[in-house]
Amino acid sequence: MKKTVGTASLTKKRLLLGITGGVAAYKAVELARLMTQVGIDVQTVMTASACRFIGPITFQSLTGNPVYTDFWETNTASSMAHIDLSRNVDAILVAPASANFIARVANGMADDLLATLCLARDCPLLLAPAMNRQMWENPATQRNLAILQGENINILGPANGEQACGEVGMGRMLEPNELIEVIQAMLQPKLLQDKNVLITAGPTYEAIDAVRGITNISSGKMGYAVARAALAAGANVTLISGPSCLTVPAVTKLVNVMSANDMLDAVKKEMSQTQTDIFISVAAVADYRAAKVSRQKIKKTDKRLTLLLEPNPDILNYVSNLPKPPFCVGFAAETENLEKNAEIKRKKKKLPLLVANLANEAIGLNESELILFDDAGKHRLLKAPKIIQAQRLIKHISESYK
């Protein structure tokens, strides 16, 4: 009997698994097995380089479907493999996606079967990169990734760790159990279909003078991941972001802000225009701002300089105390007594759900470990890439939100 996942069976779902050339191709075997096990009909397409690492017959045996490797394959419905294979699938996942493949897709190349069917697709495309850390960090790869993210192509990972070449760094493909979690979340019914979700992300910047300010090291990674997960769950997403250099997800609406006061104004404006169902406050909002902002650059002297600070408004507090508040989700980054402080924050801000993380293990990083606190108690989300944590969070919210 085929297994079901969560409340929804995936037995009617079809996924195209693309495999490109890389050592991580061995992980695709386990991935294909897991997907088949949960009832997904897996159609495998391999590049010529992938076939150097692993044989097509392995995937054929595991999935029960023929494996396509050749652009000139004629054994498909209309003898046009690049069209046939990209139709009637719910998503395409390329895992591993090599640096070369990422570059080809980013540039709209159609020089083999897998690249061509990605170009011809009319379904979501997910890429799980795997490569040497230098290749990952190379500006050319980062440029290609930014293009793909701007086109709403989901980039899953990579993770940090030991690599096949012996080096340590970013570039390891996510583990099959992590990838299957993303796929399951995506193929299940849309958990937040048509809900209006408002998300704050990133740091704020509180000016001191014309060129200086107070900020923090929040990158926006968590907030942007939550925005991506909410979009994938079918929500209309408004993202209010403090300064961040990340590629912005293809949200329904983006509002860029600098200070906490700007962010509060943007939140108020958005809520006056749209009926917000869920408010997720991921932003690391500065608690204080300069009491007086100098319009000119403050001159250096050899005397001490005292900066007078005054408290910023608490945006989340404002929203959760509205007469009819949306479902409010707060975040808490703590450096000590995580659980105790998080519980105190949840009660003080009257939140149905609060997400706690250790600041030094989350801020600016690609992965985090989270603890969710709600009326039912606490729920630990073991360390994982932020996009996976975001999907887990969205699932939890969809189950709590009435």
Contact residues for ligand PMT (CB under 6 A)? 200, 202, 218-223, 260, 281-285, 287, 312, 314-316, 330-333, 345, 357, 362-364
Residues 123, 187 contacting (CB under 8 angstroms): no
Provide, rounded to whole angstroms, the least separation between the CB of residue 218 and ligand PMT: 4
Nearer to ligand PMT, 67 or 222 (CB): 222
Nearer to ligand PMT, 174 or 284 (CB): 284
Nearer to ligand PMT, 197 or 363 (CB): 363
The CA distance from 118 to 136, in Å, is 21
Provide, rounded to whole angstroms, the least separation between the CB of residue 349 and ligand PMT: 6
Among 30, 26, 27, 25, smallest CA distance to 63 is for 30
Nearer to ligand PMT, 20 or 200 (CB): 200
β-pairing, 14-19 with 91-97?
A: parallel
Q: Give the Cβ contact number of residue 309 at 10 Å.
A: 14
165 assigned to active site: yes
Residues 233, 189 contacting (CB under 8 angstroms): no
Nearer to ligand PMT, 183 or 362 (CB): 362
Nearer to ligand PMT, 55 or 311 (CB): 311
Provide, rounded to whole angstroms, the least separation between the CB of residue 353 and ligand PMT: 11
Q: Which two three-digit tokens encode residue 56?
A: 């097509």
Residue 11 exposure: Cα atoms within 13 Å on the Cβ side: 6
Provide, rounded to whole angstroms, the least separation between the CB of residue 51 and ligand PMT: 38
Provide, rounded to whole angstroms, the least separation between the CB of residue 336 and ligand PMT: 13
Amino acid found at 43: Q
Contacts of 45 (CB under 8 A, 6+ apart): 16, 17, 18, 19, 67, 68, 69, 85, 113, 114, 117
Among 300, 301, 288, smallest CA distance to 207 is for 288
Provide, rounded to whole angstroms, the least separation between the CB of residue 132 and ligand PMT: 25
Of 51, 118, 123, 165, catalytic: 165
Q: Which long-range contacts (CB under 8 A, 24 or more apart) does 53-56 make?
A: 53/21, 53/22, 53/23, 53/25, 53/26, 54/19, 54/25, 54/26, 54/28, 54/29
Amino acid found at 211: V
Which are the catalytic amino acids? Answer: 165
